[in-house]
Amino acid sequence: MTFKKRTVRDLDPKGKRVLVRVDFNVPLDKGAVADDTRIRAALPTIRLLQARGGALALVSHLGRPKGRDAKLSLAPVAKRLGELLGREVPLMPDAVGQEIARRVRALEPGDLVLLENVRFHREEEENDPAFARALATGFDAYVNDAFGTAHRAHASTEGIARILPAYAGLLLEKELTALGGILEHPAKPFLAIIGGAKVSTKMDVLRSLVPRVDALAIGGGMANTFLLAAGHGVGRSLVEPEKETEARRVTDEVEGNGKTLLIPVDVVCAPSPDEDGAAAAGVFGVDDVPSGQAIVDVGPRTLERYAGVIGRAKTIFWNGPLGVFEVPAFANGTRRVAELLASSGAVTVVGGGESVQAVEEAGLAEKMTHVSTGGGASLELIEGKTLPGVAAIPDR
């Protein structure tokens, strides 16, 4: 697709102070960054602006703090970013205020600082205009490179873009081009693999994909509702009986239009969906799920069917794990799909969340065409919703 928004390539940052919204909402473990994927994804925009003589301040949120919370400080992020860039990245004590404005005005070309967690202020999520103005103080331009929060109309994603000259970062452009491309002009056959726990959270995505795809594969807990709708027993599995009618409607729409619907034909079941149940897990056909057990993964025959469709596909979109992915014994289906996509030769777009974690852990991220940094944002884009953080950036 043609990217219509103004980007950092259209900005001359020389001698300017630029506020860059990044998505550094990363997992922490014992006070250190546990996964730096999102930090690394922002480096191309940071390096481009610095190389062209811009003075940069980065702004991000981390977690869901209720006011100031030392456990959700961006200090570990500043440390990791400094390691990746080979230079110290000072962490400002706040995101707004007189002291911050003074230090912003003192920034020299090539300087780089990180503002403290912007969600320490409740006005951020309220998109408070006065807070957006305070955030903009001292800056000459604004760049949004935070695809993961582009679906939120917050002060640092939408409000500020109405105050400062606004541009899209390289990551935001890359995300929108990749995801928009598979929606507008996918090479056929187009396969979507949708997993995750609940069908209720993905129903809008399914409805949006059904007219576009040639094949739809459904796994994870949400597949249990489709199995129930098809007349299969699901034992003590996670299931949403109230969504049975909608699942049947999706099934009818896919199959009624001569498309392929893949739901499990065999499954891994266990007495409990945790480590304790792993030792007693077994494979069952979908007609033979034990009444006292829960479905925790797709089975080998299901994976064979997936493999056949993946092998024929020219475009594949994948979002969501196919089993209880956080338990290693029940992650086989998810891992196998990651391997199949990596070796498929198709255009492969992995849309956020645990499917990204799966390809990263398997060391296969580099073999995918695009791995999205935004779970909720990528799904809302697929659903056809307007992303406020993107809409606020002027067209070229």
Alpha carbon distances (Å) from 284 to 88, 112, 289: 55, 56, 6
- Whether residue 176 has pLDDT greater than 80: yes
Q: Check residue 191 and give its pLDDT.
A: 97
Cα gap 299→217, rounded to integer Å: 14
User: Could you tell me which residue, 197 or 89, shows the higher pLDDT?
Assistant: 89
* pLDDT average, residue stretch 11-17: 97
Side by side, which strands form the sheet with 370-371? Answer: 260-262, 215-218, 190-194, 315-319, 347-350, 370-371
pLDDT in tens, 119-132: 999 999 999 999 99
Q: Which band of pLDDT confidence, cut at 50, 70 and 90, is reported for residue 184?
A: confident
Q: Which band of pLDDT confidence, cut at 50, 70 and 90, is reported for residue 168?
A: very high
Left, alpha or beta for 74 (phi > 0: left; psi -120 to 50: alpha)? alpha
Q: Check residue 1 and give its pLDDT.
A: 56
pLDDT in tens, 267-314: 999 999 999 999 999 999 999 999 999 999 999 999 999 999 999 999
Per CATH, the number for 179-382 is 3.40.50.1260
The predicted model scores a pTM of 0.89
pLDDT in tens, 90-127: 999 999 999 999 999 999 999 999 999 999 999 999 99
Cα gap 32→152, rounded to integer Å: 27
- Whether residue 376 has pLDDT greater than 90: no
Please state the domain extents for the chain.
8-172, 179-382
Cα gap 235→248, rounded to integer Å: 19
Left, alpha or beta for 391 (phi > 0: left; psi -120 to 50: alpha)? alpha
Q: Check residue 354 and give its pLDDT.
A: 77
Pick the CATH number of 8-172 from 3.30.360.10, 3.40.50.1260, 1.10.3720.10, 3.30.930.10: 3.40.50.1260
Q: Check residue 241 and give its pLDDT.
A: 95
* pLDDT average, residue stretch 61-72: 96
Q: Which of 348, 391, 355 is CA-nearest to residue 373? A: 355
Fold equal for 8-172 and 179-382: yes
Residues with catalytic function: 38, 198, 353, 376
* pLDDT average, residue stretch 238-249: 95
